[in-house]
Amino acid sequence: MGKSILILGACGQIGTELTLELRKKYGDHDVVASDIREGGSDLMASGPFELLDATNYAAIEDVVMHYEIEEVYLMAAMLSATAEKFPTRAWNLNMSSLFNVLNLGKEKKIDKIFWPSSIAVFGPNTPKENTPQNTVMEPSTVYGISKLSGERWCEYYHKKFGVDVRSIRYPGLISWKTAPGGGTTDYAVEIYHEALKHGKYSCFLEPDTFLPMMYIDDAIRATITLMEYNSGNLTIRSSYNLAAMSFSPHEIAQSIEPHIPDFKMDYTPDFRQQIADSWPGSIDDAFARKDWGWTPKFDLAATTKEMLKHLEEK
Ligand code: SER
């Protein structure tokens, strides 16, 4: 028998693929997708869906009771670039949705929670290369401030109320099924769409801006592995550093050239450059490797191959 799982924000970049993978693993009927809008046809057709606002505690509680939900994945959030434009809305969405889920855990209405954090929890004073798990954290973005606060609350609810909450500091995620929205790392997705459509891309970051990145299949596998792992092995209840690769816009362009020889890239940096400059260039994920056996599978060349293949088919 499967276990009942609810995904909040199931129609977004991570939520879509996570829902489909969890349905494969635990059975379509036991994995309830929810969002404030309907999602892609794969997601809508493969199992139950509820229109649900993650900031509405009573509405989430109803769905949790109705489906006898045991685990919640909270994937609803406003990302870094959009959050700079709407700071109050970003804070309210990112924090109130987290409190709702943590409080369901505290009230013992659900057993387990996944909540994503981000490399955005780090800031300009953090060591930039191989950024350790425990280090200076002074985020300078609205999004980063909400993620760091969220991490503190996760650890607090775990220690104080025994809530089984688990979290990953995702790097920039690269995927083809659903477009990301409003992130600073999203150039590394847009570039593949534009390369196939127009043979060129105008990048909003400078050529030598290194950021930690990961292909979506690795991210989904990491998430499910962490959620299935024996609780006693987990030493981090704020959020785990997680890494796969690190590259610059110049390097991703180079990885596309063998597939699309005429590909041209130019650079028109905007306000997102400052956000990127405040984040690490690479991440040390030793705790994830040691505590739950993490190893990534996709490097930049493999990611480029997958992205171009799948987008072309689409
Ligand atoms: N990829 C996210 C963003 O760029 C960071 O978590 O906002």
- Asked if residue 230 belongs to a domain, the reply is no
242 residue type, one letter:
L
- Asked if residue 231 belongs to a domain, the reply is no
Q: What is the tens place of the pLDDT at every residue in 217-252?
A: 999 999 999 999 999 999 999 999 999 999 999 999
Number of structural domains (the chain) is 2
**Alpha-carbon distance values, 9 to 155, 193, 304 (Å):** 22, 24, 27
Question: Binning pLDDT at 50, 70 and 90, where does residue 295 land?
Answer: very high
CATH number at residue 64: 3.40.50.720
- Asked if residue 183 belongs to a domain, the reply is yes
pLDDT for res 2: 63
59 residue type, one letter:
A
**42 CA distance to ligand 1 middle (Å):** 25
Q: What is the tens place of the pLDDT at every residue in 10-46?
A: 999 999 999 999 999 999 999 999 999 999 999 999 9
**190 CA distance to ligand 1 middle (Å):** 14
Question: Binning pLDDT at 50, 70 and 90, where does residue 3 land?
Answer: confident
Is ligand 1 within 6 A of the CB of residue 80? yes
Residue nearest to atom 2 of ligand 1 (CA): 183
The model's pTM: 0.97
* Same domain as 220, residue 280: no
Q: What is the tens place of the pLDDT at every residue in 177-192?
A: 998 789 999 999 999 9
**186 CA distance to ligand 1 middle (Å):** 7
- Asked if residue 72 belongs to a domain, the reply is yes
Q: What mean pLDDT do residues 193-198 have?
A: 97
Is ligand 1 within 6 A of the CB of residue 171? no
Residue nearest to atom 3 of ligand 1 (CA): 183
| Ligand 1 binding pocket mutation candidate from 78, 79, 274 (most atoms within 8 A of CB) | 79
Q: What is the tens place of the pLDDT at every residue in 116-146?
A: 999 999 999 999 999 999 999 999 999 999 9
* Same domain as 254, residue 189: yes
49 residue type, one letter:
F
* Same domain as 272, residue 126: no
pLDDT for res 181: 82
**Nearest Cα residue to 221 out of 238, 235, 242, 245:** 242
Is ligand 1 within 6 A of the CB of residue 43? no
* Same domain as 114, residue 25: yes
* Same domain as 220, residue 306: no
CATH number at residue 207: 3.90.25.10
- Asked if residue 80 belongs to a domain, the reply is yes
- Asked if residue 42 belongs to a domain, the reply is yes
pLDDT for res 134: 98
* Same domain as 111, residue 157: yes
Structural domain of 187: 173-213+244-313
pLDDT for res 180: 77
Length of the chain measured in residues: 314
Q: What mean pLDDT do residues 62-84 have?
A: 97
**Edge to edge, what strands does the sheet with 211-215 contain?**
172-174, 211-215, 245-247
**173 CA distance to ligand 1 middle (Å):** 8
Contact call for residues 60 and 32 (beta carbons, < 8 A): no
The DSSP secondary structure of 23-46, one letter per residue, reads HHHH-GGGEEEEESS---HHHHHS
* Same domain as 104, residue 71: yes
Measured from the Cα of 180, ligand 1's closest atom is 1
* Phi, psi angles (nearest 5°) of residue 123: -140, -170
* Same domain as 188, residue 120: no
* Same domain as 206, residue 115: no
In angstroms and rounded to an integer, the radius of gyration of the C-alpha atoms of the chain is 19
In whole angstroms, what is the distance from residue 189 CA to residue 31 CA?
27
- Asked if residue 265 belongs to a domain, the reply is yes
- Asked if residue 307 belongs to a domain, the reply is yes
* Same domain as 107, residue 202: no
pLDDT at residue 1 above 70?
no
* Same domain as 207, residue 109: no
* Same domain as 166, residue 187: no
Is ligand 1 within 6 A of the CB of residue 94? no
Q: What is the tens place of the pLDDT at every residue in 255-289?
A: 999 999 999 999 999 999 999 999 999 999 999 99
